[in-house]
Amino acid sequence: MTTVRREAFGRMPPEEGGGEVEKFVLQSDSVRVEILSFGCIITTLETKDRDGQFSDVVLGFDTLEGYTRKHPFFGAVVGRVANRIANGRFTLDGKEYQLFINNGPNSLHGGAKGFDKVLWSPQVLPNGVRFFRLSPDGEEGYPGDLKVWVTYTLSGRELAINYQAQTSKTTPISLTNHAYFNLAGQGSRDVYDHEISIEADSYLPVDDTKIPTGEVAAVQGTGFDLRQPVELGKHLQKFHLDGFDHNFCLHQGQDRRLVARVFHPPSGRTMEVHTTQPGIQFYTGNNLDGSLKGKGAVTYPKHSAFCLETQNWPDAVNKPHFPNVLLQPGEEYNHTTWLVFSTA
């Protein structure tokens, strides 16, 4: 049984239109999640440890002001295209499109004002909430009026996030949620004691601006082989890695499949990621630097969280041999990711 409650969370600043931001609280016996109508942001996700104690396992802020200021996409839905597009440029049907450059020489997570920085229209469901927005033709440089629906539903230990979209012109689209997790509880110092596995035989090497080189490299015999669980801290040391910020290539297919599992031995908390998407970006919070004050006035230092962002492959719009990232008029974009929480 899931209960859904809505309440006021704050108002947008006058220069942003001053609209009301609502918070939606989804609660089952084992999971409690809070989601905003601003950026479809997951602000809180509480799960039980093996003793039945709830802890909040996502990074974020106590107030709306934290989210309207600059922050690294905590908990937000990012789009129209998640991850990086090289030089913020792509060509469709002979026409070149130039996007806003906001990450070195590249465009990241939709540009200057992506889906994470706008108000969505909410609709309460029996076991969740659906958000809608129209991204107008030319927004952030992207072609086509894009109708987008993001639906969060909670069923027992499972949080499902479904993304649907329709366009009036051919456009690239890749949507994900950018939640930062720490299964010890948000505000814990690092995620080195977490054990992670990712069901991927290959990954995408990147250049020094984090754009895939185009090579699809086998994980076998490298630090990117996470097919068997590894303890993160020891693994980073062993392979002299500063952290992960890479796309792992998943087995192709439209069906739901288990793609990643994270286990935190001290608390017993386990999180599984299932998805229909072709890729997953594993990010270990390498750019967190302790400068942001999070919930309960804690700070978030480097490696104090991880992200598992299910998505299409980065820069797919410029790489013909990557999975198709283009949505055509008359088609529907439809992907789902499931987060399943348990204890061991």
Residues catalogued as catalytic = 178, 309
Q: Which residues are annotated as a binding site for beta-D-galactose?
A: 83-84, 178-180, 245
Output phi, psi for 296, to 5 deg. 65, 20
| Contacts for 76 with CB less than 8 Å, ≥ 6 apart | 39, 40, 41, 67, 115, 116, 177, 178
Task: List, in sequence order, every residue forming a beta bridge with 146; answer none if it has no partner.
Answer: 135, 167
- For CA atoms 122, 338, 41, 280, the dihedral sign is negative
Q: And the tokens for 149?
A: 């629906």
* Closest by CA position to 325, among listed 80, 76, 39: 80
Euclidean distance between the first and the last CA atom of the chain, given in angstroms as a whole number: 23
Q: Which residues are annotated as a binding site?
A: 83-84, 178-180, 245
Q: And the tokens for 228?
A: 């068997």
What are the helix and strand counts (H, E) for the chain? 2, 27
